[in-house]
Amino acid sequence: MTTATTAAAPHYVPAGLPQRIQHYIDGQFVDSIDGATFEVLDPVSNTTYVTAAAGQKADIDAAVAAATRAFVDGPWPRMKPRERARILNRIADAVEAQDAHLAEFETFDTGLPITQALGQAQRAAENFRFFADLIVAQSDDTYKVPGSQVNYVNRKPIGVAGLITPWNTPFMLESWKLAPALASGCTVVLKPAEFTPLSASLWAGIFEDAGLPQGVFNLVNGLGEEAGDALVKHPDVPLISFTGESRTGQLIFGNAAPMLKGLSMELGGKSPAVVFADADLDAAIDSTLFGVFSLNGERCTAGSRILVERPIYDEFLEKYSARASKIVVGDPHDPATEVGALVHPEHFDKVMSYVEIGKTEGRLLAGGGRPEGLPTGNYVAPTVFADVEPDARIFQEEIFGPVVAITPFDTDDEALELANGVRYGLAAYIWTNNLERAHTFSQRVEAGMVWLNSHNVRDLRTPFGGVKASGLGHEGGYRSIDFYTDQQAVHITLGHAHTPRFGAA
Ligand SMILES: NC(=O)c1ccc[n+]([C@@H]2O[C@H](COP(=O)([O-])OP(=O)(O)OC[C@H]3O[C@@H](n4cnc5c(N)ncnc54)[C@H](O)[C@@H]3O)[C@@H](O)[C@H]2O)c1
Ligand SMILES: O=C/C=C/C=C(\O)C(=O)O
């Protein structure tokens, strides 16, 4: 195998790792009430580096009780937006000030390359700053019927928000829920992913220092089927924001249904990148490589299927696979690394099983296994399969690793049929210099988000979310605030009400 790798370095362990990871409930770090724990591995040595408290129903009950008290009695929901914004900006400052430390912890826990983890930490700060600005600028609807009525919207935080997050870029995705929930005046219980609890353990200190009142933020670690399940089923948690697999989303949807909870679901993807023959080929290659191999391919919006128009298919394959073979795989802490270690041996096994399936379904052009020369760790060489048929499992199923399926097409209609021919609908990337084609295709493609001649960059005011099995509802900008608040309509009649006078005859 010809994959480029970094020199095998001694296993790097960051300074200041906690002795154990606890919950944070009502302003205190605590263990599980029954003492339950689980072991956390680092993805390079695959050995246990810390023991974490495994939250059970009783721990969730305690966290929800604290969050409820902070909501009912506390100042947080009643503060002026500008006062809340001041605290959110202090949180952003603190995240920025320790971005290198955060990235180091995140890289150690997730296996993400350090340069990319640093970008994600900075984006977490940005999320807090963005929602601080948004609530200060927020204006709500007012309707005037001249001489008769004024109606206005009274926006109210809903209550205790349950936030359940995945392991792929944990700190950033936690911030993507924490920032708008807190900005809205909700109090929260966060249940981070069990593979990666390390960076979440830093939130409590950041929030305390920024002056967030006690009980507003609560953290319960633990397994999805235990802590996550108890949070979803808790009667005093009226809304759940979930990011994770579509299958888990379905389960949570069912469990939350009897209580008619508010749900926001950011789920899986199998997003197409469609490259037309008239595209800027070099730019398309840069973007489609980044699209599936950044964040180790563990990215919800990964462009994991590339559809290429026939006249440029061979040239695309040649250039793409040559570049993919040169991607540097190795020690996540090495700044030269482009693809690090996958999060966990279970996930590594899953991705490797798809690599083996791919060998029977497509033509292997790059990668195809674990690169040589790296002692331990969940490394997978960037893997490229060509000539993949639309009924192949590697075309249809989310792999969530550095594996891409490439398929040729002849017409716009065929490209559209291929793009839409999966159960997911998160993102689509379109490469063409034909304006009409770009917009027509965007209208018809089944995706919550479309990028035209661009990789995955966006303004935080835009809606973020998927269609079909990729999600329910949208977060991002004021849509996040809408999710965490009720919009109560207040109707005022000016002058005499002139109510029909029942019983007056
Ligand atoms: N659309 C998006 O914005 C987005 C972003 C990132 C990741 N993802 C998706 O997340 C997935 C990878 O993350 P993952 O493997 O951590 O997902 P997952 O569904 O296994 O777990 C996500 C979270 O849900 C919890 N959980 C599991 N079972 C639960 C249950 N029964 N009740 C309540 N909580 C439960 C887990 O403990 C974890 O905290 C991929 O499918 C990826 O596409 C989507
Ligand atoms: O797994 C990836 C989730 C990514 C989220 C964003 O890229 C975003 O909020 O811009």
Query: 113 with 233, same domain?
Result: yes
Backbone angles phi, psi at 337, to 5 degrees: -70, 135
Query: Could you give the CA distance from residue 409 to residue 277 in angstroms, rounded to a whole number?
Result: 10
Q: Is 166 in the pocket of ligand 1 (CB under 6 A)?
A: yes
Q: Tell me if 398 CB under 6 Å of ligand 1.
A: yes
d(CA 446, CA 124): 29
Residue-level pLDDT at 2: 61
Residue 458 lies in a domain: no
Classify 211 as helix, strand or coil.
coil
- Phi, psi at residue 208, to the nearest 5°? -60, -50
The answer to whether the beta carbons of residues 405 and 396 sit under 8 Å apart is no
The secondary structure element, H or E, covering residue 121 is helix 114-137
Q: Which token pair is 202?
A: 């830093």
Does one domain contain both 248 and 277? no
Q: What's the pLDDT band for 485 if we cut at 50, 70, 90?
A: very high
Instruction: Identify the three-state secondary structure at position 41.
Output: strand
Of 106, 226, 266, 475, which is the active-site residue?
Answer: 266
Residue 174 CB contacts under 8 Å (≥ 6 apart), including other chains: 124, 163, 165, 190, 192, 199, 200, 203
Q: Do 156 and 231 have their domain in common?
A: yes
Examine the domain organization and report whether 215 and 364 are in the same domain.
Answer: no
Q: Is the pLDDT score of 166 beyond 60?
A: yes
Residue located nearest, by CA, to atom 18 of ligand 1: 244
Measured in angstroms, how far is the CA atom of residue 243 from the centroid of ligand 1? 5
Best residue among 120, 195, 245 to mutate for probing ligand 1, ranked by most atoms within 8 Å of CB: 245
Percent of the chain at pLDDT exceeding 70: 99
In a domain, 10, yes or no: no
Q: Is the Cβ atom of 268 under 6 angstroms away from ligand 1?
A: yes
Domain span holding position 423: 272-452
- Ligand 2 pocket: which of 196, 300, 426, 457 to mutate (most atoms within 8 A of CB): 300
Distance 17 CA to ligand 1 centre (A): 25
Same domain, 348 and 402: yes
- The average pLDDT across 308-337 equals 98
Residues 279 and 263 in one domain: no
Query: Same structural domain for residues 205 and 290?
Result: no
231 shares its domain with 337: no
Q: Is residue 320 located within the same domain as residue 173? A: no
Q: 171, 267, 296, 464: which to mutate for ligand 2, most atoms within 8 A of CB? A: 464
d(CA 376, CA 41) in angstroms, rounded, equals 13
The residue to which tokens 């924490």 are assigned:
178
| pLDDT surpasses 70 at 1 | no
- 259 and 279 inside one domain: no
| pTM for the full predicted model | 0.97
- Contacting residues for 464 by C-beta, under 8 A, at least 6 apart: 266, 448, 449, 458, 474, 475, 476
**pLDDT above 70 (res 90):** yes
Q: Is residue 46 part of a domain?
A: yes
Do 223 and 231 contact (CB within 8 A), yes or no?
no
Does residue 6 lie in a domain region?
A: no
Which pair of tokens denotes residue 299? 């990215």
Indicate if 266 belongs to the active site.
Answer: yes
User: Which ligand ends up closest to the CA of 291?
Assistant: 2
pLDDT of residue 257: 97
Do the domain assignments include residue 261?
yes
Q: How far apart are CA 14 and CA 495, in angstroms?
A: 69
Which ligand number lies closest to the CA of residue 465?
1
Q: How far is the CA of 246 from the centre of ligand 1 (A)?
A: 8
Which runs of consecutive H residues, i.e. helices, occur in 138-189?
170-183
Q: How many other β-carbons are positioned within 10 Å of the β-carbon of residue 134?
A: 22
DSSP 391-454: TSHHHHS---SSEEEEEEESSHHHHHHHHH-SSEESEEEEE-S-HHHHHHHHHHS--SEEEES-
Rounded mean pLDDT of the chain?
97
* Residue 365 binned pLDDT confidence (cut-offs 50, 70, 90): very high
Ligand approaching nearest to the C-alpha of 426: 1
Is 52 a member of any domain?
A: yes
**Residue 141 clears pLDDT 90, i.e. is over it:** yes
User: What's the pLDDT band for 3 if we cut at 50, 70, 90?
Assistant: confident
Question: Does residue 5 register a pLDDT over 90?
Answer: no
ipTM above 0.90, yes or no: yes
Q: From CA 217, how far away is CA 210, in angstroms rounded?
A: 12
Share of the chain above pLDDT 90, in %: 95
Residue 32 within any structural domain of the chain: yes
246 CA closest ligand 1 atom index: 41
- CATH number for the domain that contains residue 351: 3.40.309.10
Distance 426 CA to ligand 1 centre (A): 15
- CA–CA–CA angle 375, 381, 386 (5° rounding): 160
Tokens found for residue 67: 């969050």
Cα(251) to centroid(ligand 1), Å: 11
| Residue 164 one-letter amino acid | I
Domain count, the chain: 2
Q: What local confidence, expressed as pLDDT, does residue 148 receive?
A: 87
Strands 20-21 and 48-53: parallel
Residue 91 has pLDDT above 90, yes or no: yes
pLDDT at 153: 97
Q: Are residues 85 and 234 in the same domain?
A: yes
CATH of the domain at 117: 3.40.605.10
Residue 41 lies in a domain: yes
Cβ atoms 437, 412 nearer than 8 A: yes
Shared domain check, 62 and 77: yes
| Ligand 2 closest atom vs CA 169 | 1
Point out the least confidently predicted range of 111-115, 202-206, 469-473, 496-500: 496-500
pLDDT digits (tens, 9 = 90+) for 29-75: 999 999 999 999 999 999 999 999 999 999 999 999 999 999 999 99
d(CA 210, CA 334): 32
CB-ligand 1 contact for 471 (6 Å cutoff): yes
